[in-house]
Amino acid sequence: MITINSCRNSFTEKEVIGYYVPIGYKNTYDTIRLLENGVYHRKVYDKNKKLVLDQVSNYELRNGGSKIYFHSYFLNFDRDLVQFPELVNDPIGGLETPLEIVNNKIQFCAGYKIYSNCYQKLK
């Protein structure tokens, strides 16, 4: 169950900087590290702990900090990247998604359905 704890809907770069991990993934381990100056570093490992994506790209805070836009974003739906390694070679052009506070942590979701494929900030 997801509990939204705040109606807050805008964030500064200083607030969003940090590490984000997906909630409930089993086939992959994925980290997105938001850095200063609109840069992000992402690493995706398959279920055998093999690094399959090591990417540096850019992000932008949009709509007054209520949304984040990732350039060159890989949609990781926790699919089996051991069986289908080619999936990691197909990043979409970009992803824009709302930023929210859920369970007292900043979160964004990258799935096609509401609250699916969500990433939550550590600490």
Q: What is the largest CA-CA distance in the chain?
A: 41
Of 31, 37, 30, 33, which Cα lies nearest the Cα of 13? Answer: 37
Residue 100 in contact with residue 94, Cβ under 8 Å?
no
Domain residue extents for the chain? 13-121
CA dihedral 49, 51, 56, 57 (to 10 degrees): -80
- Confidence category of residue 92, pLDDT binned at 50, 70, 90: low
Instruction: Compute the mean pLDDT over every residue in the chain, rounded to the nearest whole number.
Output: 90
DSSP state of 101: E
Reported as type and span, the H/E element at residue 15 is helix 13-16
Residue 58 in contact with residue 41, Cβ under 8 Å?
no
How large is the average pLDDT for residues 46-58? 95
- pTM of the full structure: 0.88
CATH topology of domain 13-121: Lipocalin (2.40.128)
**C-alpha span between 29 and 48 (Å, rounded):** 10
How large is the average pLDDT for residues 62-70? 96
Residue 120 in contact with residue 23, Cβ under 8 Å?
yes
Bridge pairing between strands 92-102 and 118-121: unpaired
Is the pLDDT score of 6 beyond 90?
A: no
